[in-house]
């Protein structure tokens, strides 16, 4: 992408997309204008980093080059960088400034397996079977860092006071790196944490994420010749079948917000041997953590019952669990103001054609890009499908979150069309819009004590009497090769 065309659109949008109902929007501060200019100045480098991370497409806890790229950039910009935090070589924290307030900005960069794809409108892997950025995390990491650097520029110039922290958070797609960072005390010292996520529309958070728990059930029986002496066998595969059948019976008696999914990872090798080992990976989700806890207790009984019926032993090991999001109305209002004031990018005819082609290729309505900011809505009782470890962060620090269009409306997520859009100008434009929104919001939080205090007061109210506890198991994070 050529940055020139992007900047033109973007600066123009800053001046014309003013909404009359927001006073702050009508008079952006000098500091905010400077922060937006800083993001703009970094455009070429942010795009280059997003393309490199897109190309690396590194899986959870293997994001070595992606994390190094971002951490090196932060270091060049004068941040103090602590690498390999919380027992994860690919987690890092970059800090600039001193004292309060402390504004944290979250970045992610991990990819998903098996969805390698070129930046084109037909299914075409770069490397067959390799990983791809099907959640747009190659945009997430650099956008957030660009915003952190914009804040740093203002702190360095003495125009703002306080501290900015960039959290480089690995493995969102698998174990939830942020949860291990929370366990080690990160995020808690931030006055406010900012995060965003690539999506197919643009909106300040009002829905949040589902809570979930992810666990492995293993059954161990006794092998035997399946024809010679099956009466001597105790089949772990039978137990796995009974277990999954039990889950499917339970499905009718849980709330509509509950989701249960599993994959049978092992259940024997050949039919003429009674399998003595089976392994089922299971996820349980619900709108809130309490709902997950209730269903999880029943699923644990199902596993116990299945083992009893098959006459085998079983173990259940929790791998991780994500918590629902504590959404702050005051925070979403602030994000909405900045999203609206900055305004979405405009797209070229080629980009719109690219978007429609991806929609056609996946059986969706060919409506093109839908990046306009959606109206601010009241907080929804139940989030739509999907979980994020940003939810956990929202219980240890006030966390503001928004979604921003980086891909065509309705194309399948965690799939090749998102990889394609994340590796070209549609994704880049979304990334720059996200960086600007984060930077502008951070400036508001640093400049305006009353806004910051209102957010903190709402958070204090919503966390009163709540004791957050992470769901990751004791011991170090499961870093590959350790």
* Residue with smaller CB distance to Zn ion, 92 or 140: 140
Cα 432 from Cα 170, distance rounded (Å) = 21
Q: Can residue 404 be called a binding residue for Zn ion (CB under 5 A)?
A: no
- Minimum CB distance to Zn ion, residue 174 (Å): 11
Is 135 one of the binding residues for Zn ion (CB under 5 A)? yes
Judged by CB under 5 A, the stretch of 68-76, 132-140, 408-416, 461-469 that binds Zn ion is 132-140
Q: Would you list the DSSP string of 227-258?
A: TT-GGG-B-HHHHHHHHHHHHHHHGGGS-TT-
Q: Contact region for Zn ion (CB under 5 A) — 40-48, 131-139, 296-304, 320-328?
A: 131-139
Which residue's C-beta sits nearest to Zn ion? 135
Which residue's CB is nearer to Zn ion, number 237 or number 415? Answer: 415
Rounded CA gap, 418 and 410, in Å?
A: 10
Task: Give the binding range for Zn ion (CB under 5 A) out of 130-138, 241-249, 459-467, 468-476.
Answer: 130-138
Binding residues for Zn ion, total number by CB under 5 A: 1
| Least distance CB 388 / Zn ion (angstroms) | 7
**Closest distance to Zn ion from the beta carbon of 377 (Å):** 22
Token pair recorded at residue 291:
């709902």
- CA 474 to CA 468: how far, in whole Å? 16
Neighbours of 322 (CB within 10 A): 30
E strands, 306-425, are 313-322, 399-405
Token couple for 131: 């990983």
Give me the least distance between CB of 178 and Zn ion, in Å please. 12
Indicate the pairing of strand 313-322 with strand 163-168: unpaired
Closer Cβ to Zn ion, 135 or 190, answer by number: 135
Residue 434 binding Zn ion, by CB under 5 A: no
**Residue 85 contacts residue 91 (beta carbons within 8 Å):** yes
CB closer to Zn ion out of 355 and 407: 407
Q: Which one, 388 or 425, has the nearer CB to Zn ion?
A: 388
Q: Give the integer Cα–Cα distance in Å for 90 and 354.
A: 34
Q: Does the footprint of Zn ion cover residue 396 (CB under 5 A)?
A: no
- In order of 85, 168, 293, 477, the CA distances from 177 in angstroms are 10, 9, 21, 8
Q: For Zn ion, give the closer residue by CB, 195 or 267.
A: 195
Question: Segment contacting Zn ion (CB under 5 A): 79-87, 129-137, 359-367, 434-442?
Answer: 129-137
Q: How many whole angstroms separate alpha carbon 352 and alpha carbon 6?
A: 15
Residue 9 interacts with Zn ion (CB under 5 A): yes or no? no
| Closer by beta carbon to Zn ion, 76 or else 414 | 414
Q: Work out whether 131 is an interface residue with Zn ion (CB under 5 A).
A: no
Q: Does 479 bind Zn ion (CB under 5 A)?
A: no
Nearest distance from C-beta of residue 137 to Zn ion, angstroms: 6
Dihedrals phi, psi of 117, to nearest 5 degrees: -160, 140
Interacting stretch for Zn ion, rule CB under 5 A, among 111-119, 127-135, 146-154, 348-356? 127-135
- Whole-number minimum distance, CB 111 to Zn ion, in Å? 10
CA 309, CA 228: separation in Å to the nearest integer?
22
Residue with tokens 């996946």: 362
Q: How far is the CB of 434 from Zn ion (least distance, A)?
A: 13
Binding mask 272-311 for Zn ion (x = CB under 5 A): ----------------------------------------
Strand partners, 158: none
Burial of 65 (0-12, 13-18, 19+ CB in 10 A): middle
Binding site for Zn ion (CB under 5 A): 135
């Amino acid at each position: 992408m050529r940055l020139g065309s992007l900047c033109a659109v973007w600066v123009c949008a800053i001046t014309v997309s003013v909404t009359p109902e927001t006073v702050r929007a009508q008079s952006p501060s000098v500091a905010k204008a400077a922060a937006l200019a800083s993001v703009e100045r970094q455009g070429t480098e942010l795009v280059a980093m997003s393309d490199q991370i897109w190309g690396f497409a590194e899986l959870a806890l293997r994001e070595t080059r992606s994390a190094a790229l971002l951490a090196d950039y932060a270091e060049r910009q004068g941040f103090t960088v602590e690498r390999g935090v919380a027992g994860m070589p690919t987690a890092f924290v970059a800090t600039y400034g001193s004292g309060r307030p402390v504004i944290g900005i979250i970045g992610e960069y991990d990819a998903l397996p098996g969805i390698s794809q070129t930046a084109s409108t037909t299914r075409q892997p770069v490397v067959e079977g390799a990983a791809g950025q099907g959640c747009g995390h190659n945009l997430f990491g650099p956008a957030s860092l660009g915003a952190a650097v914009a804040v740093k520029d203002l702190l360095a110039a003495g125009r703002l006071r306080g501290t900015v922290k960039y959290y480089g958070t690995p493995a969102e797609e698998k174990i939830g790196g942020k949860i291990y960072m929370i366990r080690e005390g990160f995020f808690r010292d931030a006055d406010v944490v900012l995060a965003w996520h690539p999506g197919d529309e643009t909106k300040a958070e009002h829905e949040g994420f589902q809570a979930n728990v992810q666990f492995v059930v293993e059954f161990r029986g006794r092998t035997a010749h399946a024809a010679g002496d099956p009466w001597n066998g105790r089949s772990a595969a039978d137990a796995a079948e009974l277990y999954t059948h039990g889950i499917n019976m339970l499905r009718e008696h849980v709330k509509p917000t509950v989701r249960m999914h599993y994959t049978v990872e092992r259940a024997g090798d050949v039919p003429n041997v009674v399998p003595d080992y089976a392994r089922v990976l299971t996820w349980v989700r619900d709108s809130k953590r309490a709902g997950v806890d209730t269903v999880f207790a029943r699923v644990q009984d199902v596993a116990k019952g299945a083992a009893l019926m098959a006459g085998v032993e079983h173990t259940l090991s929790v791998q991780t669990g994500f918590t629902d999001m504590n959404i702050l109305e005051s925070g979403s209002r602030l994000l909405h103001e900045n999203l609206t004031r900055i305004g979405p990018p405009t797209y070229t005819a080629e980009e719109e054609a690219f978007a429609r082609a991806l929609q056609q290729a996946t059986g969706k309505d060919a409506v093109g890009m839908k990046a306009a900011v959606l109206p601010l809505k009241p907080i929804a009782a139940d989030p739509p499908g999907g979980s994020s470890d940003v939810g956990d962060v929202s219980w240890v620090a006030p966390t503001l979150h928004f979604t921003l269009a980086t891909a065509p409306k309705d194309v399948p997520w965690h799939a090749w069309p998102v990889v394609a859009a994340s590796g070209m100008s549609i994704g880049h434009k979304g990334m720059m819009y996200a960086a600007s929104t984060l930077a502008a919001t951070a400036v508001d939080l640093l400049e305006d004590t009353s806004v910051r205090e209102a957010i903190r007061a709402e958070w204090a109210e919503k966390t009163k009497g709540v004791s957050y506890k992470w769901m990751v198991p004791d011991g170090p994070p499961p870093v590959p090769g350790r």
